[in-house]
Structure 1
């Protein structure tokens, strides 16, 4: 008699996460936004770091950029150069990754205030560090396609380690 041991099928869940939040030097100035809370939350989870701005063809380091037109998105860098197409390309590439893993994706953790990844707030386009309600280019596209978005401030708040969803009303 031959016995077969069948391993129970494990459910794999995956998170996409802004690469800068896990310590990768993808930020515009060549540094990162390492966030210990994000690392703690992800320590026993499978995650894929993404940087939409790099996926859109922008180098690191690069000039800071902000959204200057909303809701019709236009993004310029601090020298006034239009980098909108790079931001849209990066958003599309990030969406492709999210859609590839869609059935296993538990959520997407994005860097708040970023012109790509901001979920609730972005800078106002003046390069004076003034925040306004709004979504970055990538965050907006992902939200429009139904993905669950989290920020570095909205994850892991509950004692049992479950995600706490930060509800928001995206600009219209």
Structure 2
């Protein structure tokens, strides 16, 4: 089964700061799923590195004040195309990101405060039936895969 994964969680250096954040359980996920790495910011046309950005309502604004909403929406639309092309029912996404965060994101003040909400990509994918897992929930996806494997054997 194919699953979409934030490229930064595979260790690819595409985060706003030019780094990556390899998911600790990536090798186990790769035993059960085919990973489809994707970075909505890159596909939306953003450079790496780039100014940090946060959602402010429906807009995405960089710390330097630049409105990058259109790039984030473009990246989300490209993510949805990839999900459909590769038939990805699940996505493992970078938490708190203005693109990939799901359920909790930074509040838009660049103060480190979190609020309920989702990033542009996570929101679009969820509206289209993709089940989203943040990186801290990836082990839940592994448990689900193990349970499904046991049911298939029975």
Normalising by structure 1, we get a TM-score of 0.79
* Cα-to-partner distance string for 1:56-76 (whole Å, 9 max, x where unaligned): 00000000000011xxx1011
Quick check: 1:141 aligned with 2:124? yes
Alignment match, 2:75? 90
Give unpaired runs (5+ residues) of structure 2: 147-154
The structure that has the greater radius of gyration is 1
Give unpaired runs (5+ residues) of structure 1: 1-12, 165-172
Q: 2:12 aligns with which of 9, 14, 24?
A: 24
Alignment match, 1:156? 139
Alignment match, 1:41? 29
What RMSD in Å do the two structures reach over aligned CA positions? 1.7
* Cα-to-partner distance string for 1:104-126 (whole Å, 9 max, x where unaligned): x2411111100000011110000
Q: Which structure is higher in helix share?
A: 2
1-structure distance, mates of 2:96, 2:134: 10
Cα deviation, residue 162, structure 1:
2.4
Residues 157, 143 of structure 1: CA spacing in aligned structure 2 closer, same or farther, 3 A cutoff? Answer: closer
Cα deviation, residue 41, structure 1:
2.2
1-structure distance, mates of 2:79, 2:4: 9
Normalising by structure 2, we get a TM-score of 0.88
Alignment of 1:103-122 (within 5 A): 105-122=88-105
Cα deviation, residue 44, structure 1:
4.4
2-structure distance, mates of 1:22, 1:83: 25
